[in-house]
Amino acid sequence: MTKRIFLSPPWMGGDERKLVEAAFDSNYVAPCGPMVDQFEKDFAAFLQRPSACALSSCTAALDLLCRELDIQRGDSVFCSDLTFVASIAPAVHRGATPVFIDSDEQTWNMDPDLLAEALADAKRDNHLPKAVIAVDLYGQCCDYDRIESLCASYEVPLIVDSAEALGATYKNRPAGDAGWASVYSFNGNKIITTSGGGMLTSHTTALVERARKRSQQSREDHIWYEHGELGYNYRMSNIVAAIGVGQLQILPEIIRRKHQIFDWYRDALSCIPGLTFMPEASYGKATRWLTVITLNAERATPDATAPTQDVFTVMSALERENIESRPIWKPMHLQPVFQSAKVHGGAISKRCFNAGLCLPSGAGLSQSDVERICGILKLTLS
């Protein structure tokens, strides 16, 4: 059997191992240490933000933001419908009622018109959300200007979940450079990985500092253990941060490769009738973290709650060749756990899910790997 092609495996540039060794040599085999400081410094500089806090995961970062906002039972939180469950889970764990906002057809990200409608409804009901969580999906920023100004006009904090979009831009602003705070993931399949990890950033330094303190059990500045409030054990470890320092250095090369891979797919597959690529908005530059396609989207039946037969057929054909592919996120409003949640719109995210497929997009893919994958798609769809 040929070597398995994974969807988006880690791609190491070379210095990561040396940096991990340096972390070992320093004996900071611990949460905190010089590599954590370095990673935070480099990351904040990359995003042109005053500070950043490195954490054990992006979910932890979102949880700390929910804690900061004191989200609790009775509150509502608006969130992109088409996302991974971690975008909203921390708020729901705290008792919040989620309200989902469908995607814009042109970007697959939160539709600002639907957000405007949802905020106006909430204002009328005297129940504005505690936060809006807008997701930058599959390496593409949502419409920051419009979403930011809507949130500002209702005085609702905007959290940008940029877990999937590090390195993308919005009108020359870095991904996540919007709203009250933003979060990033370094999970194993993300554009850069630390095996697992996350980052919280904001233009408000005091917010980042409070998150940092809470991520270390909210210890007060005393020589003994003193706690004025309860915190968490959410800090990133120094060993893991060493990988992050090395990965961030090669982010431009990873993005270059992701674009190259997307171009190979586009050149080979554009001729297939009914096959389209995730659209790229004119306001920015996507990273193409994953190359995402839809297959015969117009044929997807509006009441289906699973991927179409075309998607299953292609996935199985790839799997037979030991190649991993994956359906698009199942929208939150279709998740059994959120069956009673309110959704504004829902048809676009559902159609993306029904007809969508994420193709292997690891930065290490060669042109011949992509040609082989495209050959299987062509054969299956002909």
Ligand X SMILES: Cc1ncc(COP(=O)(O)O)c(C=O)c1O
Residue whose CB is less far from ligand X, 187 or 202:
187
Return the DSSP state at 297: G
The contact set with ligand X (CB under 6 A) reads 57-59, 83-84, 86-87, 135, 161, 163-164, 185, 187, 198
Residues 102, 114 contacting (CB under 8 angstroms): yes
Q: Cβ of residue 174: shortest distance to ligand X, in angstroms?
A: 17
Q: Cβ of residue 161: shortest distance to ligand X, in angstroms?
A: 5
Nearest CA among 32, 82, 90, 39 for reference residue 61: 90
d(CA 283, CA 274): 26
Q: Cβ of residue 70: shortest distance to ligand X, in angstroms?
A: 21
DSSP letter string, 133-157? EEE-GGG----HHHHHHHHHHHT--
Q: Cβ of residue 228: shortest distance to ligand X, in angstroms?
A: 27
Nearest CA among 34, 29, 33, 94 for reference residue 59: 94
Residue whose CB is less far from ligand X, 243 or 370:
243
Residue whose CB is less far from ligand X, 35 or 58:
58
Q: Cβ of residue 109: shortest distance to ligand X, in angstroms?
A: 11
Residue whose CB is less far from ligand X, 129 or 369:
129
Beta strands across the sheet bearing 181-185: 51-55, 198-202, 181-185, 158-161, 131-135, 76-80, 97-101, 342-344
Nearest CA among 9, 42, 10 for reference residue 245: 42
Nearest CA among 258, 281, 284, 282 for reference residue 359: 258
Q: Cβ of residue 87: shortest distance to ligand X, in angstroms?
A: 5
Residue whose CB is less far from ligand X, 81 or 164:
164
Residue whose CB is less far from ligand X, 236 or 348:
236
